[in-house]
Chain A
Amino acid sequence: MPEGQQPILELQGITKSFGGVEALRGVDFALLPGEIHGLVGENGAGKSTLMKIIAGVHTEFSGRVLIDGQATHFRSARDAHAAGIAMVHQELSVAPDLTVAENVFLGNQPTNRLGLVQWRRMAREAGEQLARFGIDVDPMSRLGDLPIGLQQLIEIARVLFSGARIVILDEPTSALSPPEVERLFVTLKRLREQGTAIVFISHFIEDILRVSDTVTVFRNGRKVAETASAATSKGALIEAMIGRGGEALEHSYTDDLMLPRPSDSSVVLKVDKLSLARSLQDVSFEARAGEVLGIYGFMGCGQQELSRILFGKLKPDAGTLAVDGTPKRFTSTAAARRAGVALVPESRRAMLFHQEPVYKNISISILDRISSLLLKPAQERDIAKHQIDQLQIRPPVVGLDLGMLSGGNQQKVALAKWLTYPPKLLVLCEPTRGMDVGAKNDVINIVRDLRAMGLAIIVLSTEPETVLSLADRILVLKRGAVVREFRNEPVSKDRLLEAA
């Protein structure tokens, strides 16, 4: 990389806050033409926020943005696009019902003088572009019929070939298979030779080190390190990401935590060689009574699919699961519930009824235990009252519409649904995400009480702190496979990150 080159993009003293919480504090950032710049940091460290400022998604912030040395202020994503900046967001944003060619040319299909789309030309050019990317598909096939990884590659291809001078890729590899990642890297390097500047965000530090020229580390909204990729290592980057003894407020799990000796209580759930399309490969484990099993992994590692299989919402392609030694094939979530499995999904909206009162939310999963035919509202209210007292749900009003409660209290209601008649196996997805410290502690205490009652509990999370604060035993899931088990040994945040 030539020294003294003028940056194509420069950010100076960027500060951005959301409702009083600072997401970015005085960040400087420079991007050179023909550079691949890796960005690492934990969830919420500020990477995505900074990229959204560059891409014109966030328009309210303080600090200066310079493009080719000229001060600029984008008022919309369209402005940024016009300036040659394109971004691939973490969530897939394609039109599954359109053809591959239409997706490649989304928004700027080639047209003739009458304004009609030139289908043949579009198909030919899309095919050529994708071929350069090593993708061999019929440009006229429906995009939604292709595997997710291929869809993601096509979305990336669209952005890469849109002629943008600055390309931002947010977690582009999470749904890709290893050969697909290779193809992406080859293309990125070719674009770099043509002078395109690329920002590459990823949780996979090995990927960052392999493909990028420079790495910048974010922690708590600050840029804490910037170094040439060749001059650093995975361990050094992880250390910079999580800091040492910095955050006194909350337990930061940077020191080793000793996991207890594995319990020898009865096996409640046994999962054997579970596989699901591109999401899970031969996942096997067991969960025991009175034990919290943590399953940690990055976004898209297959956690969500795993939890849905356990609760009968998804059917695995292969593999078996057994509850209390009895093999089960759940045909519906109702069957899973009857077998003693309970799930609290990561989205509260997905499991609560916002327009219904709290007591109906709490009783819905146990109505068949309360009454066979006729409802018994008085008993439902008593049960709800008891749960509200137990879990300290505020305000303590059984008849209040659920939507009036705060997020943390809604999460407690989501737990309360399953507690009156405790299940054998409780599966919790991201049980403390987006909660303040107080609510988090409440949830942690509830889970510990449940463990003491002898439930088998599985906690799935993409946040190492959540898993570390709750689990007795930890599995690390990476691209759909179990890659490491921590048991009866010291574990810490960097050990977890290292394994993922």
Chain B
Amino acid sequence: MVSSETAPATGQRARGLVPFLRSQMRNIAPFLTLIFLSGFFALASPSFATIDNLGNILTQVSVTGIIAVGLTFVILCAEIDLSIAGIANVTGIAVAYFTLQESYVNIPNIPLPGAAAILLAILLCAALGLVNALGLTVIGIPSFIMTLAMMQIAAGISALLVRGQIAYKVPDLITTLGSGAIGGIPWIVIVAAIMLLGGHLVLTYTRFGRYIYMVGGNREAAEYSGLNVKLILGAVMVISAVCSGIGGMLGVAHFGSAQQNEFDTYLLDSIAAVVVGGTSLFGGRGGIGNTIVGLFVLGVLNNGLDHVNIDSFLKILIRGVILLAALIINVYAQRLREKAAD
């Protein structure tokens, strides 16, 4: 019995190394990119490959990492969230708005105890995520458009709260987590690591995580399997908004100030991290592991370009080219897999 069961298995699986590598291209290519970039910068600059600099890179990618956890969920469902940076910004501003500021800060704010400020900020980002969710699932607005509108709405709320001013104080807990360190390790790195780990555990080991992959893999089949697709999509949009909100609060503490347009670059960085890491834009493939690799590729690239003598304007172009290359690989890997499945 055993032999008759295993024989076809090996017959089907032993298809040679090359097809296996092709099917794993989504995971291998980003990793090779990371190794290549690290090697290149290590050779090009003596100050790159040091423990200190590794700490720098980790700190630099932390806020992006926290936001990217939720975004990974969204992209796995074959949706997109363009409001992540806007929601991060408004949540960071909100937590400062509910905190007592120094007398020279001229914002008509509402000081509250730290815990209440944090709670209200979290509620705000969750509510904005819920609006995204309702727009997507109940009204049926494509997520690209819905979250584009939310990006503006979040920016609008931010503007109304700070009115062109800058706030500095946030609750002590947020200050510690955003800019403090324990045993030489910045808290923000620890928070990012915990959230990435949590995201990975949810995606890999829970029923909800499985549903996310199935909805992303074939939404129609998920519906015909009796899954509540709208509920899953809605939950994912809320999770994304809450992750963005946490990233925003810690980011404000990390930068030391809360102001308009503070997080604008994080939209592209977070999307780039998820996609460069190899999570499929068509949904159903990838995960937090890919996002971590993507974060490091971006982190090494940004950091490494500062260590070598290069025109700072050229840096922007180089980042764009790397992103394009990752997108090409992403689409190509999808096609290879589909061919293998047919």
> A-side interface residues toward B, CB under 8 Å?
311, 313, 332-334, 336-338, 342-343, 345, 349-356, 360, 364-365, 367-368, 371-375, 394-397, 399-401, 403-404, 417
Contacts and interface: CB of A to CB of B under 8 A. Distances in A.
A400 B12 contact: yes
A351 B228 contact: no
B230 A356 contact: no
A372 B207 contact: yes
A359 to B, nearest CB: 11
Size class of B's contact patch?
35 or more
Interface stretch (B117-125, B210-218, B234-242): B210-218
A374 B229 CA distance: 19
B214 A353 contact: yes
Interface of B: 5, 8-9, 11-13, 205-207, 209-211, 213-214, 217-218, 220-231, 284-285, 337-338, 340-342
A349 B337 CA distance: 16
A401 B210 contact: no
Given A351-B221, A355-B337, A371-B207, A365 B226 contact: yes
Q: Is the interface of B mostly helix, strand, loop or mixed?
A: helix
B225 A364 contact: yes
Contacts of A372: 207
Contact of A396 (B5, B206, B285): B5
Contacts of A395: 8-9, 11-12
Given A395-B12, A400-B12, A375 B210 contact: yes
A338 B210 CA distance: 19
A311 B227 CA distance: 12
Given A356-B217, A373-B206, A375-B206, A332 B8 contact: no
Contact of A360 (B5, B210, B337, B338): B210
Contacts of A396: 5, 8
Contacts of A401: 340-341
Q: Tell me which of B218, B230, B284, B285 has the highest count of chain A C-beta atoms within 10 A of its own C-beta.
A: B218
A336 B224 CA distance: 10
Contact of A397 (B9, B205, B213, B226): B9
A355 B217 contact: yes
A416 to B, nearest CB: 12
Given A333-B228, A355-B337, A364-B222, 11 more contacts: A338-B226, A352-B221, A356-B214, A365-B227, A367-B207, A372-B207, A373-B206, A374-B207, A401-B341, A403-B341, A404-B341
A130 B231 CA distance: 45
A371 B205 CA distance: 11
A409 to B, nearest CB: 12
Contacts of B213: 356
A334 B221 contact: no
B232 to A, nearest CB: 10
Contacts of A400: 9, 12-13
B340 to A, nearest CB: 8
B206 A333 contact: no
Contact of B210 (A333, A351, A367): A367
A190 B26 CA distance: 61
B225 A332 contact: no
B76 to A, nearest CB: 13
A351 B8 contact: no
25 contacts: A313-B224, A332-B228, A332-B230, A333-B224, A334-B226, A334-B227, A334-B228, A343-B224, A349-B221, A350-B221, A351-B220, A351-B221, A352-B218, A352-B221, A353-B217, A355-B217, A368-B207, A374-B207, A375-B206, A395-B8, A396-B8, A397-B9, A401-B340, A401-B341, A403-B341
A224 to B, nearest CB: 37
Given A372-B207, A374-B205, A375-B206, A337 B9 contact: no
A417 B341 contact: no
B8 A397 contact: yes
Contacts of B224: 311, 313, 333, 343, 345, 350-351
Contacts of A352: 218, 221
Given A334-B227, A395-B12, A375 B207 contact: yes
Given A367-B210, A374-B207, A375-B206, A355 B284 contact: yes
Contacts of B210: 360, 364, 367, 375
B207 A373 contact: yes
A242 B338 CA distance: 40
A354 B8 contact: no
Contacts of B223: 313, 333
Nearest to A403: B341
